[in-house]
Structure 1
Amino acid sequence: MPADLNDRLVVAISSRALFDFEEENRVFEQADDAAYMRLQLDRLERPAQPGVAFQLVRKLLAFNTSDAQRDRVEVVLLSRNDPVSGLRVFNSAKHHGTPIERGVFTRGRAPYQYLHALQAHLFLSAEPDDVRAALHAGYPAAQVYPESARASEAHPDEVRIAFDGDAVLFSDEAERVFQTEGLPAFQQHEARKAALPLPPGPFKPLLEALHRLQKASADGSTPMRLRTALVTARSAPAHERAVRTLMHWNITIDEAMFLGGLDKGPFLREFQPDFFFDDQAGHVQSAARHVPSGQVHAAVTRKS
């Protein structure tokens, strides 16, 4: 019987999101792909250092235990690298004890079209154009900031993931009101529609998959746990619609922070997520000083 990825949380990740290839990438940008390939080949036996999303991947893979009937999480390399450079990525993963078995390497071509075959719930890449294309195709995707702070090691048995609300978990419907009419109109709009669930945003499928993983691991069959947080610029009374939307989806969030425009960075520093997703570049830049962060390009709105 052929292998399949049904009933798994599937994360597709680029080489630069998983490992620190910034020096190699500078060679690519300053020279050409041939120079990049030679450098990667010269360093074939030198393991790359962990990148911004490495700890998230390592922790998610820890949900796969020998006691379970089948793996719950699949991580697949999905990269613009050439296949030879891909050897170094696989070698680095093996060196760091990260069991990744599958990979697709496209040598410069956009790789997002393989997300459908992979049944991916998340795509992480340092290439903004690839992220935008994936979002346009309906897949949760974020541009990682390679310069982000690395994840804290204070919670070795818990995966922590934080999300912005509007244009990430929820659609950008309310965000458009804020951008065009201002805060008072936004507050009135959300108070008036408090009982009406927000349309889903690009990351609802990932949140649903994480919720399933959280419930499946509640039986104690794995030492890993999952903790999620909503970190939003909303404040009362606009908080109510966000909470009611999650209730309508039958999804539980462990923590919610309604910050009313306060800088998210210090709050994320305290929550210590393994990754944070936001659509606003300013919020991501602030968060990246404290935690691993990625931008969900809000110019692309998921059709619900």
Structure 2
Amino acid sequence: MSVFPDDKLVVAISSRALFNFEEENRIFESGDPQAYMALQLQRMDQPARPGIAFSLIKKLLAFNDTTTQRVEVVILSRNDPVSGMRIFRSGNASGIKLERGVFTQGRSPFRYLHPLRANLFLSVNAEDVREALAAGYPAARVLTESALAGENYPNEVRIAFDGDAVLFSDEAEQVFQQGGLDAFQLHETHKALQPLPEGPFKPLLEALHRLQASGTPAMKIRTALVTARSAPAHERAIRTLMHWKIHVDEAMFLGGLPKGEFLREFEPDFFFDDQTRYVDQAAQHVPAGHVAAGIKNVKKAA
């Protein structure tokens, strides 16, 4: 059993983000947890179908080999320990190596991200994601209605990120909300040479960069920045990545165009965005998650 070295990528994920437990969850949401546990026990030897984040997790685990464990996946779930047995069995049947799990039986599990040293938390529970983000962890609410990942790139982990409030802070978005497009463009032009402050997902991008550098020829990482920014505001985003000494493989400055069709062409295993309208667009084509960070989400929560 391995421990977590400093350079290991650790993904904490809920059971419903990794596997399709929607039928079982409907019974739980009906207010009958005992019936839910009985059904999970009844289906103990029936492997669950892949969930929305399954492709991402399976590809990340392909960076491990017999000599080096570069990625660890930990189940972090509000499930009960009985249901946890089925989750581990489903992982084994699907070729997903799971060694660790924390099951809190209805309580929020986000506080365990610290001892797990998690680089990413994926969950279907919006409250857990907000708490994780507030504690400083990259986290996203997985949309279970998303399309599953495509199969055209079996040897690439493909991840797409929005810029402001995801990779970068929402400083520029605040200017846009207060002063409109002209104020935003002027602000970004004047500050083109000044790097943007980091956003909640910068640590994950750094971890992926380290994983790529120490990885295996059998699996590569391909990243994309997919942002509503357009020229001239694109320059500050590019210069910020250069300042961080991190590159992305593709950059799309869409100037407000719908992101879904562009993501359909990129075919990511997962896409992260802070705005629900873009996440909803993306979910029609690719696995998508909502990052509840920045001023847009503060307003929604108020």
For the superposition of Structure 1 and Structure 2, which TM-score range results when normalised by the shorter chain? over 0.9
Query: Within 2, Cα distance between the matches of 1:153 and 1:222?
Result: 19
**Is it true that 1:250 corresponds to 2:248 in the alignment?**
no
Stretch moving more, 2-11 or 225-234: 2-11
Match of 1:37 in 2: 37
Match of 1:288 among 283, 289, 302: 283
Instruction: Read off the aligned partner of 2:50 and give its amino acid letter.
Output: P
- Deviations along 1:258-281, one digit per CA (max 9) or x if unpaired, are 000000000000000000000000
Specify the SS of the correspondent of 1:188: helix
**Is it true that 1:75 corresponds to 2:73 in the alignment?**
yes
- Deviations along 1:24-82, one digit per CA (max 9) or x if unpaired, are 1111111232221111111111111000000000000000012xx42111110000000
Query: Within 1, Cα distance between the matches of 2:238 and 2:20?
Result: 37
Match of 2:209 in 1: 211
Distance apart, 1:216 and its partner CA = 1.2
Query: Within 1, Cα distance between the matches of 2:187 and 2:42?
Result: 58
Match of 2:267 in 1: 272
Stretch moving more, 2-11 or 93-102: 2-11
Match of 1:50 in 2: 50
What does residue range 1-304 of structure 1 map to in structure 2 within 5 Å?
3-66=3-66, 69-217=67-215, 221-299=216-294
The answer as to whether partners of 1:5 and 1:74 remain within 8 angstroms in 2 is no
**Residues 83/286 of structure 1: CA separation in 2 closer, same or farther (3 Å cut):** same
Specify the SS of the correspondent of 2:49: coil
For the aligned residue pairs, the C-alpha RMSD in angstroms reads 1.4
Query: Within 1, Cα distance between the matches of 2:236 and 2:217?
Result: 34
Query: Within 2, Cα distance between the matches of 1:282 and 1:5?
Result: 38
Structure 2, unaligned runs of 5 or more: 297-302
Distance apart, 1:4 and its partner CA = 3.1
Query: Within 2, Cα distance between the matches of 1:47 and 1:120?
Result: 26
Distance apart, 1:140 and its partner CA = 0.1
Distance apart, 1:176 and its partner CA = 0.9
The answer as to whether partners of 1:132 and 1:300 remain within 8 angstroms in 2 is no
The answer as to whether partners of 2:7 and 2:210 remain within 8 angstroms in 1 is no
TM-score, L = length of structure 1: 0.95
Specify the SS of the correspondent of 2:289: strand
Query: Within 1, Cα distance between the matches of 2:194 and 2:188?
Result: 9
Distance apart, 1:299 and its partner CA = 4.5
The answer as to whether partners of 2:4 and 2:117 remain within 8 angstroms in 1 is no
Displacement over 6 Å in runs of 4+:
none
State the number of aligned residues. 296
- Deviations along 1:81-135, one digit per CA (max 9) or x if unpaired, are 0010000100111111111111111111100001000110000000000000000
Query: Within 2, Cα distance between the matches of 1:4 and 1:269?
Result: 35
Distance apart, 1:182 and its partner CA = 1.0
**Residues 5/103 of structure 1: CA separation in 2 closer, same or farther (3 Å cut):** farther
- Deviations along 1:178-204, one digit per CA (max 9) or x if unpaired, are 122111111111001000100000000
TM-score, L = length of structure 2: 0.96
